[in-house]
Structure 1
């Protein structure tokens, strides 16, 4: 059997090699680990055009239809998680590419969302920078969580985690999504609101936990941001396109809201000159929501399992 080539993409931290038992695949699979992000499709094709197997990390590298046409040797594509909007599954099928996924834990993204909420509410970056620079001692006034309303746009796996933690902080938790029922909301200790407008107008912290799709793209635009309280905060750790980025920038610059936090951006890595980098009252992170040791061990460990199953003729966790 000829040697098979496998490329693990976007290994930014250089940890993928050590977090799974890749040698278990045997001498017939040559695995390479690519730590740099490919800024163009041409560069990606040059790097992995010889590979039969590619392991992708979330949506860091898109796989549109035209890319599959340029990768004729590709036979197995693995993504972390069981959903990846950046992969054209229909095109993969047309080109004979099997697409498999892995498990993904909802706890790490929820934990990071709370880091953003707390960082905004207590001005942690401002205070830490002042402390390091020998600046003023105590210069901000924090916002309480206890007794305030947490508004959740979406009450899926991560949203439910958010609701339980919000309750532990003593917050009133409200939620909205197009199909949310009062009974399902109550199971997580939340109250279901009748509209996103009601949620935006009444919440002190709004956190986005919806799946990106035709109904949710641009769901939060200028009109919605203007409905929020000027003392309220918006946090998005779901997908950037759910919130109109231009409207968000205006809201921050003109003070429609008190501040915003985000772990997701429409173009990643974020361009050095992107205006969000210098927006007032904005706390941004480089898409760290799922980036924890336990999650990565699950991703890469199950990627090895996916490859083994595919080579045995019985692929598992197949998408599409």
Structure 2
């Protein structure tokens, strides 16, 4: 089987350059029987829907700026190759149930998010936020009481053990850190060869490790699952990092613990985003804040583009696609 479908790329010029720099874009064009690019931000949503209907493509390539698809899809549309992550605002569950095939960036960005988790760990241990504020605004310099810590030999606990956590395990290897994980699918013997310990409970994970990295997915069973009693199990001087989903953590409890200053905290995700300008987290010297930028970085969005290209090749030749968003996957996405 070898097809050359009509491809409609509903992405901005900037997204094309970042996700599909040459030669990737040229290879996408070569796969297509016809190729149309449409900047969905150039007009209204209604304009986009009209352009999509007129093109009536077999394949739609979408990005962050692609509006939600119309309830009634073009009759030829079979496959949405989404360059980014969550598709919940792009397509509906009934559209998937009706047979629309959708893929996203899958695990192509996992190593980049893991890299950001490592940044937060190191930033917290070295008290980077404290010294950034003190040196920029107070003319401070180190003194005999200056306290910092190293990652070497520290015990790391991972809440969640998906693709990002597995990539983080690899990044942590040079530091010689014992690693423990807690997740529904983590049992003794999980990921053989990684030397991974299995926590019997969330309480054990928080109590037995110096550094906790929050990577659990957000769903009905995990919303608010990390509570104040868990956070207080982290020893003084310990670290809590969240690059997963903000609402997995009781954020009011996290703030109370943060304001006490007994542990270091690194946050890239929040229950409400953007983080409000008057958030009490802002200005805390033991809290490193970043604006949900764990991944992919601008220069590595091409990794997601290459993943999409591989899926388009597979689609054209009748081979299985990767990172397919089934109705069940859709239900657990955030």
TM tier relative to shorter chain: 0.7 to 0.9
Which ranges of structure 1 fall in alignment gaps of 5 or more residues? Answer: 37-42
Q: Where does residue 45 of structure 1 map in the other structure?
A: 45
* Residue 194 (structure 1) aligned to one of 187, 193, 200: 200
SS in 2 for 1:224: helix
Aligned residues: 307
Which ranges of structure 2 fall in alignment gaps of 5 or more residues? Answer: 1-5, 327-334
Asked if 1:180 corresponds to 2:180, the answer is: no
* Residue 163 (structure 2) aligned to one of 157, 167, 172: 157
Q: CA deviation at 1:249?
A: 2.2
Q: 1:216 to 1:105 in 2, by over 3 A?
A: same
Asked if 1:248 corresponds to 2:254, the answer is: yes
What TM-score, normalized by structure 2, do the two folds share? 0.73
Q: Where does residue 18 of structure 1 map in the other structure?
A: 21
Asked if 1:92 corresponds to 2:98, the answer is: no
CA distance in 1, matches of 2:44, 2:192: 47
* Residue 107 (structure 1) aligned to one of 102, 108, 111: 111
Asked if 1:301 corresponds to 2:306, the answer is: yes
CA distance in 2, matches of 1:151, 1:112: 16
Q: 1:128 to 1:274 in 2, by over 3 A?
A: closer
Residue range with higher mean Cα deviation, 138-147 or 106-115: 138-147
SS in 2 for 1:227: coil
* Residue 30 (structure 1) aligned to one of 15, 24, 36: 36
* Residue 287 (structure 2) aligned to one of 282, 289, 302: 282
What TM-score, normalized by structure 1, do the two folds share? 0.76
Q: CA deviation at 1:192?
A: 1.6
Q: 1:249 to 1:11 in 2, by over 3 A?
A: farther
Conserved 8 A contact 1:236-1:262: yes
Conserved 8 A contact 1:240-1:264: yes
CA distance in 2, matches of 1:115, 1:93: 37
Q: Where does residue 330 of structure 2 map in the other structure?
A: none
Q: 1:204 to 1:47 in 2, by over 3 A?
A: farther
SS in 2 for 1:117: helix
Residue range with higher mean Cα deviation, 277-286 or 217-226: 277-286
Q: Where does residue 127 of structure 1 map in the other structure?
A: 131
CA distance in 1, matches of 2:248, 2:110: 19
Q: CA deviation at 1:181?
A: 1.9
Q: Residue by residue, what CA displacement relative to the aligned partner does 1:64-97 show, whole Å, maximum 9, x if unpaired?
A: xxx5455644934333478756666622225664
Q: 1:158 to 1:16 in 2, by over 3 A?
A: closer
CA distance in 1, matches of 2:129, 2:148: 12
Q: Where does residue 120 of structure 2 map in the other structure?
A: 116
Q: 1:171 to 1:47 in 2, by over 3 A?
A: farther
Q: 1:19 to 1:176 in 2, by over 3 A?
A: farther
Q: 1:161 to 1:310 in 2, by over 3 A?
A: closer
Q: 1:171 to 1:305 in 2, by over 3 A?
A: closer
CA distance in 1, matches of 2:270, 2:147: 29
Q: 1:128 to 1:193 in 2, by over 3 A?
A: same
Q: Where does residue 7 of structure 1 map in the other structure?
A: 10
CA distance in 1, matches of 2:165, 2:11: 30
